[in-house]
Amino acid sequence: MCQLMDHYSSWYRLKRAVVIYHRLFDILHSRKLQTNKSSCGRFNQPFTVQELDRAENVILKFIQLQHFDKEMDSSSKRCRVPKSSSVYRLDLFLDNGLLKVGGRLSRAEIPEEMKYPVLLPYKSVVTSLIITDIHLRLGHAGRNHVLSALREKYWVIKANSAVRTILSRCVTCRKLRVPACEQKMADLPSIRVKPTPPFTYTGVDFFGPHVIKEGRKYAKRYGALFTCLVSRGVHIETANSLDTDSFLHALRRFIARRGPIHVIWCDNSTNFTSAAKELRQAVAEMSQERIQSYLLKSNIEWKFNPPSASHMGGVWERLIRSVRQVLSPLLNEFGERLNDESYRTLLCEVEAIINSRPLTTVSDSPDDLNPLSPNHLLMMKSNVSIPPPGHFQRNDVYMRRRWRRIQYLANVFWSRWRREYLLNLQVRQKWNESKRNMQVDDIVLIMDQNIPRLQWPMGRVIATESDKRGHVRSVVLRTLKGELRRPVHKLVLLLTSSE
């Protein structure tokens, strides 16, 4: 019987199997008594309700004998159950060999099986099958609904915990209700916490499109936002499209105006991926010439976030939101009159406004310094202002003196940056606890906001990518359409590798 119960995962199929064994036993027994007659035709007849009830009683008796053998010996004719028993207060009695709960509802106008439910243990295969059958019959209902339907016929010890355990293993319920995976927020990378020249470490992303007017035609324009990961400064370039060539032109203009870049971070979009590949090919082709060999010494290192991991690029994603907050009122007022030249001018104005934002808390005291802003480093002043009128002497532009002045202002910026801004990044705003790491062979649901949740594809983890502290941040998945790389925050864990 134990092997039979472990073989089936459905309560109804288990009862059918027991009915088949009963029929086989009856056929063999009838052949033994009447050797000339055959009753094989009964073996293929449809199942009856009486046979299923008989099979259920046999299974329940077997389970009770396994877990309540002492209670069944001592509870015949309502004998007292020892106080040490976990079912001492249930007023147990035997009814046709089944241990049932007496209780206090004998006078209630309810069915007999609700008055005297069958006692079942907490940890049992049969208990799990019965709870699962009720859960499926009720259309994957919640814990309270399943518990109410269960107690109409069965009394399970620690039923609340048993139902909760079974429902937590339901794959369909996990698809519907389980939230996405989380992991403790990572430490800030070194490129964000050490003083470096502006835009040495840069993040880039596109925003738009915005509709402008060229003569009698309307055209779309995009903005390429470059973010300094240290000073949080912003540089905005215009792009006519989202293809690779347009991005390369914007990148070349940015480098020409802001200087060389050491590392550039970006999302795993198609245009960025193609741009990195084309840049590497272009550098390899130009390596024969002297100028191109010089450029190889300052080659840009490209780093891509995993696909769909927008939270990993929060540095520039947050600034794109700030740009939109500034652009929206301006475009509402002048959007219909913009041409290509005025659109570029508008983005420059937005860039100046964003770079003048405070990075630290604004103090109410008049004796405190002005709040730190990216313009303190980019332009050596907090606000954009027109040069004052007047006559200037030649000594005012003395190079050595000007160099010392700029160097002093830069040192002031970095000292204030350490004291006022850097220490504000110490606290984790969310994801403060370490969670279970994704493991190879875990079955997950891949989030896709463009389709309903029940249509999200499933995948198996084939490789994990962890940080220096051992926390898995992204994984490689095998799906029906091939391999994918996704962050753990875009996955819903359905089954662990051990399950």
Half-sphere exposure of 90 (CA within 13 A, CB side): 23
- pLDDT of 293 > 70? The answer is no
168-182, 281-295, 327-341 — which is least confidently predicted? Answer: 281-295
The pLDDT score that the predictor gives to residue 440 is 92
Find residue 205's DSSP bridge partners: 225
Alpha-carbon distance values, 249 to 240, 451, 486 (Å): 10, 35, 30
The pLDDT score that the predictor gives to residue 132 is 92
Confidence of residue 297 (pLDDT cuts 50, 70, 90): low
The pLDDT score that the predictor gives to residue 242 is 79
- pLDDT of 461 > 90? The answer is yes
Higher-pLDDT residue of 293 and 459 is 459
The pLDDT score that the predictor gives to residue 379 is 74
Higher-pLDDT residue of 273 and 392 is 273
Mean pLDDT of 91-118: 84
- pLDDT of 255 > 80? The answer is yes
The pLDDT score that the predictor gives to residue 364 is 63
Q: Residue 426's CB: how many other CB atoms inside 10 A? A: 7
- pLDDT of 469 > 90? The answer is no
Phi, psi (deg, nearest 5) at residue 226: -105, 130
User: What is the Cα 368 distance to its own chain's centre?
Assistant: 43
Whether residue 179 is preceded by a cis peptide bond, meaning omega within 30 degrees of 0, is: no
Alpha-carbon distance values, 421 to 227, 319, 375, 424 (Å): 16, 17, 14, 5
Give the SS3 label for residue 72. helix
Confidence of residue 150 (pLDDT cuts 50, 70, 90): very high
Confidence of residue 133 (pLDDT cuts 50, 70, 90): very high
User: Which of the given ranges, 101-105, 142-146, 293-297, 468-472, has the highest pLDDT on average?
Assistant: 142-146
Confidence of residue 268 (pLDDT cuts 50, 70, 90): confident
Query: Whole-angstrom Cα distance, residue 330 to residue 491?
Result: 39
Give the SS3 label for residue 237. strand
Higher-pLDDT residue of 227 and 37 is 227
| pTM of the entire predicted model | 0.62
- pLDDT of 384 > 50? The answer is no
The pLDDT score that the predictor gives to residue 392 is 41
* Residue-wise pLDDT tens digits, 228-253: 888 888 898 988 887 777 888 888 88
Question: Using the 8-state DSSP alphabet, how is residue 366 labeled?
Answer: T
The pLDDT score that the predictor gives to residue 338 is 74
Alpha-carbon distance values, 207 to 210, 220, 227, 242, 470 (Å): 9, 12, 13, 10, 34
Residue 189 near residue 467 (C-beta atoms within 8 A): no
Q: Tokens 């001592």 correspond to what residue? A: 74
The identity of residue 283, as a single letter, is V
Whether residue 209 is preceded by a cis peptide bond, meaning omega within 30 degrees of 0, is: yes
- pLDDT of 472 > 80? The answer is yes
Strands 458-466 and 472-479: antiparallel
Higher-pLDDT residue of 441 and 92 is 441
- pLDDT of 134 > 90? The answer is yes
User: What is the Cα 208 distance to its own chain's centre?
Assistant: 26
Alpha-carbon distance values, 344 to 76, 210, 348, 490 (Å): 92, 12, 6, 36
- pLDDT of 416 > 70? The answer is no
Alpha-carbon distance values, 301 to 43, 205, 263, 266, 285 (Å): 74, 16, 5, 11, 18
Confidence of residue 417 (pLDDT cuts 50, 70, 90): low
Per the prediction, the chain carries an average pLDDT of 77
Q: How many residues does the chain have?
A: 499
Residue 87 near residue 81 (C-beta atoms within 8 A): yes
Query: Whole-angstrom Cα distance, residue 247 to residue 71?
Result: 78
- Write the DSSP string, 455-469: G--EEEEEEEEE-TT
